[in-house]
């Protein structure tokens, strides 16, 4: 599966590089604004404000849209590979359907995790830079930031759980999309309107998932409720992966 | 070696294959001959375990085709299927990564014979160059069965004989080759057994040597007789 994974990374590399390059351009704009402002002690409304704003907005766009674009590309790639002759590149090889799908899953999940960590780290560095500039020294700045967040009721545990929740939710969206694409490919066999049918399946799976979630789980609040929701999502992700693999193995003709 | 037992394949209400029984023996060259839409490609794709049959079974060494048989059966589709970002070298590396029986040395040798440069991008290849690349990368596998679907499509008249010589010359003893083609004359000299297929059914299986010696017919003559 590692060889398959290597090629999945290669197939999606161009877009990843494009997003990262764009992010660094935005970071450079942000830093130009920051350094210009620092030179004047942020005392006047100089041109640094424009750079800071443009850089910040650009970074937010990259951070929010980048990982979504990566995921969309993975889904589109699976769709294309199951509905075109490129499928031979995968299914001619002595790999099981579970490995083929697993490599795609792994690539998407790691992209989400790595992308998430990258953008969170970048945001943390930039926020810290701004705070340090007003507070003086890094230790004090960090203490100020922590106090500020704690006063809003955001503890490290809650932040980590929320981040994990978002990550699992995101992976579950990808899992539902992969399952929908595989199901469509097995039924439609490359016929027209496959993308629309896939989307319809995706909506149906998502609605059913949401219904099951509300039905099966108690409407608990707090950390334990969140962890329960995450656990439920993980189980469904595994079930969707196994079902999609089974369909590919038994029903899919390319 | 490869055995098709009463294979049928339906696409909704359209019949692609019906009750096809065929045994591919080691060391022989087979030609699947038939007009467009006769089911040749569908049979090959089932043999390559890319398509599931609606009924019947395809066996390799007595077991249903699948992951294991893909290690020993090399399939070449008539349509291009390589990733567009690849160069010819990348295609070779891809096969080397996935197929233990792939020989990079033989691949380079075949590329030389076909006058293809490893640096060329797949997306920039002409149809003739693409056909040559598909043949080179498939034949560079030391497989036990080769399934070549319309290997001469897109290749100019002059190069066809040389390509056929290269294909047949690269085969090791005991391996089987199944070719499908409309170009009956071009493959006539190398084929041991001809399988005539029409409307998804096998019409006739004949030994080409017998056809010549006992009936005084060429493969092309027999093809015209059966298909008209």
Strand partners, B194: B31, B206
Note the pLDDT tens digit of each residue in A147-166.
Answer: 766 666 667 677 777 778 78
pLDDT band at residue A90, thresholds of 50, 70 and 90? very high
The answer to whether B5 and B153 are in contact (CB under 8 A) is no
- Whether the per-residue pLDDT at A83 is higher than 60: the answer is yes
Strand partners, B58: B4
CA nearest A13 in B: which residue? B85
CA nearest B95 in A: which residue? A93
Domains and CATH numbers, chain B: 2-227 (3.40.50.300)
**pLDDT for residue A43:** 67
Chain A nearest-CA distance from B132, in A, is 17
Average pLDDT, chain A: 84
- Whether the per-residue pLDDT at A41 is higher than 70: the answer is no
Name the 3-class secondary structure at A162: helix
What's the complex ipTM? Answer: 0.86
Task: Report chain A residues whose CB lies below 8 A from the CB of B45.
Answer: 253-254
Query: Among A14, A93, A250, whose Cβ lies nearest the Cβ of B98?
Result: A93
pLDDT band at residue A135, thresholds of 50, 70 and 90? low
- Whether the per-residue pLDDT at A45 is higher than 80: the answer is no
CA atoms of B193 and A205, how far apart (whole Å): 51
**pLDDT for residue A4:** 95
A115 or A37, higher pLDDT: A115
Nearest in space to B149 (alpha carbons), one of B19, B58, B45: B45
**pLDDT for residue A91:** 93
Task: Report chain A residues whose CB lies below 8 A from the CB of B75.
Answer: 88, 92
Average pLDDT, chain B: 90
Chain A nearest-CA distance from B26, in A, is 21
Intervals of chain B under pLDDT 50: none
CA atoms of A62 and A78, how far apart (whole Å): 24
The answer to whether B105 and B135 are in contact (CB under 8 A) is no
Whether residues A189 and B11 touch (CB distance < 8 A) is answered with yes
A&B contacts, CB < 8 Å: 55
**pLDDT for residue A142:** 60
Which uninterrupted H or E stretch holds A18?
helix A2-39
Mutation pick from B67, B70, B144 vs chain A, by most beta carbons of A within 10 Å, is B67
CA distance readout (Å), B152 to B5, B48, B78: 28, 19, 9
A93 or B190, higher pLDDT: A93
Whether residues A85 and B52 touch (CB distance < 8 A) is answered with no
């Amino acid at each position: 599966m590692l060889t398959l994974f290597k090629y999945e990374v290669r197939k999606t590399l161009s877009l990843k590089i494009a997003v990262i390059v764009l992010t660094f351009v935005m970071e450079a704009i942000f830093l130009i604004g920051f350094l210009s402002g620092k030179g004047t002690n942020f005392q006047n409304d100089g041109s640094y404000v424009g750079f800071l704003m443009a850089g910040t907005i650009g970074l937010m766009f990259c951070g929010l849209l980048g990982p979504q674009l990566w995921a969309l590309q993975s889904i589109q790639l699976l769709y294309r590979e199951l509905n075109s002759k490129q499928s031979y590149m995968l299914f001619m090889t002595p790999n099981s359907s579970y490995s083929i799908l697993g490599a795609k899953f792994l690539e998407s999940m790691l992209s989400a995790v790595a992308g998430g960590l990258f953008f969170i780290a970048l945001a943390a560095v930039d926020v810290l830079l701004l705070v340090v500039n007003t507070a003086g020294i890094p230790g004090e700045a960090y203490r100020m930031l922590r106090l500020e967040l704690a006063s809003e009721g955001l503890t490290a545990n809650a932040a980590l759980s929320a981040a994990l929740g978002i990550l699992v939710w995101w992976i579950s969206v990808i899992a539902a999309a992969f399952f929908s694409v595989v199901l469509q490919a097995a039924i439609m066999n490359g016929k027209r309107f496959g993308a629309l049918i896939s989307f319809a399946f995706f909506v149906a799976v998502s609605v059913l998932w949401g219904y099951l979630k509300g039905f099966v789980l108690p409407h608990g609040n707090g950390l334990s409720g969140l962890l329960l929701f995450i656990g439920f999502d993980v189980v469904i992700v595994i079930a969707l992966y196994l079902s999609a693999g089974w369909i590919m193995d038994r029903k899919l003709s390319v | 070696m490869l055995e098709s037992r009463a294979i049928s394949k339906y696409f909704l209400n359209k019949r692609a294959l019906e009750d096809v029984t065929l045994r591919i023996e080691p060391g022989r060259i087979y030609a699947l001959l038939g007009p467009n839409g006769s089911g040749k490609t569908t049979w090959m794709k089932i043999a390559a375990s890319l398509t599931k049959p609606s009924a019947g079974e395809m066996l390799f060494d007595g077991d249903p085709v699948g992951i294991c048989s893909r290690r020993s059966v090399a399939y070449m589709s008539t349509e291009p299927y390589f990733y567009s970002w690849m160069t010819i070298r990348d295609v070779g590396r891809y096969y080397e990564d996935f197929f233990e029986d792939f020989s990079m040395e033989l691949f380079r040798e075949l590329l030389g014979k076909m006058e293809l440069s490893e640096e060329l991008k797949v997306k920039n290849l002409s149809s003739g160059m693409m056909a040559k690349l598909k043949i080179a990368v498939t034949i560079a596998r030391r497989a036990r069965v080769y399934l070549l679907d319309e290997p001469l499509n897109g290749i100019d008249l002059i190069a066809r004989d040389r390509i056929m010589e290269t294909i047949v010359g690269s085969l090791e003893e005991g391996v089987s080759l199944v070719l499908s083609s409309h170009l009956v004359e071009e493959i006539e000299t190398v084929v041991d057994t001809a399988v005539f297929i029409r409307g998804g059914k096998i019409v006739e299986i004949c030994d080409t040597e017998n056809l010549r010696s006992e009936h005084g017919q060429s493969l092309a003559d027999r093809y015209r007789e059966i298909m008209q």
